A and B are shown apart, each in its own frame.
Chain A
Amino acid sequence: MEAFVKPEIEWSALAPMGVVVATALLTLILELFLPPTRRTPMIAVGLLGLAIAAYFQTALWQSFVLTFGEMLIADSLGAVLSLAVLGATALTLLFSEDYLQARGLRYGEFYPLVLFASAGALAMLTTTNLMVMFIGLEMLSLALYVLSGLSRTEARSEESALKYFLLGAFASAFLLYGMALMYGALGTVDIRDVAFSTDEASVALLTASAILILIGLAFKASLVPFHLWTPDVYQGAPTVATAYMSAVAKVAAFGVLIRLTVSVAPALELWGALLWQLSILSMVVGNAAALVQRDAKRMLAYSSVAHAGYLTVGLVSANTTGVAGMIYYLVAYSLMTVGAFAVLSLMARAGDATTVDALQGLYRRSPLAAHAMAILLLSLAGIPPTAGFWGKWYLFFAAVEANQWLLAGVLALTSVIGAAYYLRLAFSLYAEPREATPAWRVPAPVATALLACVLGLIGLGVLPARLTDAARHAARQVIVEQPAPTPTDAHARK
């Protein structure tokens, strides 16, 4: 019998994920022993854990380590996107309790579920191994299915959970089949191996596997034509769950897509062509459909489809500018979407109607919420002093650099269409309300979260250099300095 050899482990690379899982377990235990009216200790423990995880993650920021038998990679791309995930999670923890109490959803499981989902997202972002990626994805998805069905007595929430679960399970099956075929073609499940495949015979198998994997991930990233679940799930799920999933699922899916594209695109011409089509379709369909929505949650759902299309422009370009632009955009987008849904979650105190009509005159109810929403919408539309503008700018530039003129044109044109519905909503916030309602006092945690989003977006918009430098460094690292995989049996066979 061959002796079990202890793997060389860089514990610091595992620290952020480990801390998040430990925090989730701790909040789960707290949930059992605290009365349903006392959630503050859980939230405090969650935030503390996330802060510790962020500290460890920041320490990893310049490192470039492959550890755990090459199953875990600690690089700048993983660090920046993991920090975005941790930030979005912290914001969700901050503003959720108000919504959950107002809706009477006294399920303390919300917090451990969110934290477990984040641990899954971190696993997806810090690996090049498809199996680890899949387990991370399932950790994230299973928690999201439950979160979207959290409002158990409400038919729309149940519909959302069931739809998400059934379609998500199909997408996972596609993904897994693709991974199996990739193993068949290459003999490994490490995506870095794809770049080194020279075997003529395996090209057909590799093509099939790439298509299947792309379908699975396009579903998770809600790219057209795999977006059909998005509006229903976003609308039906409790608003705080929507806020969380719109940010974290997108960051995780695109993080994986970046790593995949870097490895697969040079080996397979088809990959870029497919992404090109997904990108154009998503931008056009997402923006056109968002234009006619009467419900703000549905509108933001279609806008998230459109944003997925913008992000894919960076993937098609597949150059340093494109990947750096995507990283910048993902960080900015997490702030925008979490913030926008946080404002919508305030509507729980007025019957939880999120139609555009119900939002009209939000200024009269709460100037703070209205101002915050206006700035978030400006950023989503990509108006200059905010981070949304720079994100689009970098992606546009990346497309031009890669000579993708049509893509750049569609990006610019659909952004203008997008601005129409964002600004229409922003203006209506300051109009006279349809019916008189009492003024709200926005609770301190929600106000803090909103302020963090708004200041973050303006800060990134006015002084983008810090993040863009980091994003550029990460992009260069993942594209140029990616370490070659250790020779395995698969290579020896050739």
Chain B
Amino acid sequence: MPSDYLPLLILFVIAAVIAAVMVGGSWLLGPKRPSLAKGSPYECGITPVGSARERFPIHFYLTAMLFIIFDVEIAFLYPFFVAVREMPPDTRLFAVGVVGVFTLLLLVSFLYEWKKGALDWEDPVEHRRLKPEPAPALNAPQPEPVAALSGENR
């Protein structure tokens, strides 16, 4: 029934109103004294250097993929081991078998990754090639990006 969803609609409206009041209020009432430091992107308190769009070593992507695979595995295994205790014995055996197949599939893929060197972070040849540029000295004059941003501030 559509009327069952009325509370949900009310919740949406309230959420929108609160958000609008908070953002709009600080925009209307708050003092605006922009400065260079305030306008620059937040980066854990460190002055930003250059663009964030850089070329990453491929290892980052591999790590991300590995993480997702094993994250999913854990997400399945935790509830399974909680639930398996409440099953009747014959069902339990079946369930353990099913999860065994699932784990076996992941195990083989893990073996593959390992053997192919996806887990070796510092491949000697790759490492030499991917060694980053020497970092600029700390007190060197900071280049454009930050200065360019300051023009945007009101």
State the A residues within 8 Å of B (CB): 1, 3-6, 25, 28-29, 32-33
Residues on A with C-beta less than 8 A from B104 are 25
For the complex formed, measure the closest distance between the CB of B62 and the CB atoms of chain A, giving whole angstroms.
16
Q: Say whether B115 faces chain A, with CB atoms less than 8 Å apart.
A: yes
The contact of B94 among A3, A6, A29, by CB within 8 Å, is A6
Q: Say whether B83 faces chain A, with CB atoms less than 8 Å apart.
A: yes
Q: B87 near A4 (CB under 8 angstroms)? A: yes
Q: Say whether B142 faces chain A, with CB atoms less than 8 Å apart.
A: no
Q: B108 near A4 (CB under 8 angstroms)? A: no
Q: Given A4-B83, A4-B95, A32–B88 Cβ distance below 8 Å?
A: no
Q: B112 near A32 (CB under 8 angstroms)? A: yes
Q: Given A4-B95, A6-B94, A29–B111 Cβ distance below 8 Å?
A: yes
Residues on B with C-beta less than 8 A from A25 are 104-105, 108
Complex: A33 Cα to B111 Cα, angstroms: 11
Rank and list the top 8 A-B pairs by shortest CB-CB distance, nearest first. Answer: A32-B115, A6-B91, A25-B108, A6-B94, A4-B87, A28-B112, A28-B108, A4-B91
For the complex formed, measure the closest distance between the CB of A42 and the CB atoms of chain B, giving whole angstroms.
14
Residues on A with C-beta less than 8 A from B86 are 1, 3
For the complex formed, measure the closest distance between the CB of A94 and the CB atoms of chain B, giving whole angstroms.
25
Of chain A, the residue at the smallest CB distance from B108 is A25
Of chain B, the residue at the smallest CB distance from A25 is B108
Of chain A, the residue at the smallest CB distance from B88 is A3
Q: Say whether B144 faces chain A, with CB atoms less than 8 Å apart.
A: no
For the complex formed, measure the closest distance between the CB of A38 and the CB atoms of chain B, giving whole angstroms.
16
Instruction: Report B101-130 residues with CB < 8 Å from chain A CB.
Output: 104-105, 108, 111-112, 115-116
Q: Which among A1, A4, A28, A29 has the greatest number of chain B C-beta atoms within 10 A?
A: A4
Residues on A with C-beta less than 8 A from B83 are 4
Instruction: Report B76-105 residues with CB < 8 Å from chain A CB.
Output: 83, 86-88, 90-91, 94-95, 104-105
Complex: A28 Cα to B91 Cα, angstroms: 31
Q: A5 near B91 (CB under 8 angstroms)? A: yes
Residues on B with C-beta less than 8 A from A6 are 90-91, 94-95
For the complex formed, measure the closest distance between the CB of A393 and the CB atoms of chain B, giving whole angstroms.
45
Report B8-43 CB contacts with A as 1/0, cut-off 8 Å.
Answer: 000000000000000000000000000000000000
For the complex formed, measure the closest distance between the CB of B147 and the CB atoms of chain A, giving whole angstroms.
39
Residues on B with C-beta less than 8 A from A1 are 86
For the complex formed, measure the closest distance between the CB of A123 and the CB atoms of chain B, giving whole angstroms.
14
Of chain A, the residue at the smallest CB distance from B104 is A25
For the complex formed, measure the closest distance between the CB of B92 and the CB atoms of chain A, giving whole angstroms.
9
Known pairs A6-B90, A6-B91, A29-B108; list 8 more (Cβ under 8 Å).
A1-B86, A4-B83, A4-B91, A6-B95, A25-B104, A25-B105, A29-B111, A33-B115
Of chain A, the residue at the smallest CB distance from B90 is A6
Complex: A32 Cα to B108 Cα, angstroms: 10
Instruction: Report B44-66 residues with CB < 8 Å from chain A CB.
Output: none
The contact sample of 25 A-B pairs, CB cut-off 8 A, is: A1-B86, A3-B86, A3-B87, A3-B88, A4-B83, A4-B87, A4-B91, A4-B95, A5-B91, A6-B90, A6-B91, A6-B94, A6-B95, A25-B104, A25-B105, A25-B108, A28-B108, A28-B112, A29-B108, A29-B111, A32-B111, A32-B112, A32-B115, A32-B116, A33-B115
Of chain A, the residue at the smallest CB distance from B107 is A25
For the complex formed, measure the closest distance between the CB of A158 and the CB atoms of chain B, giving whole angstroms.
16
Residues on B with C-beta less than 8 A from A29 are 108, 111
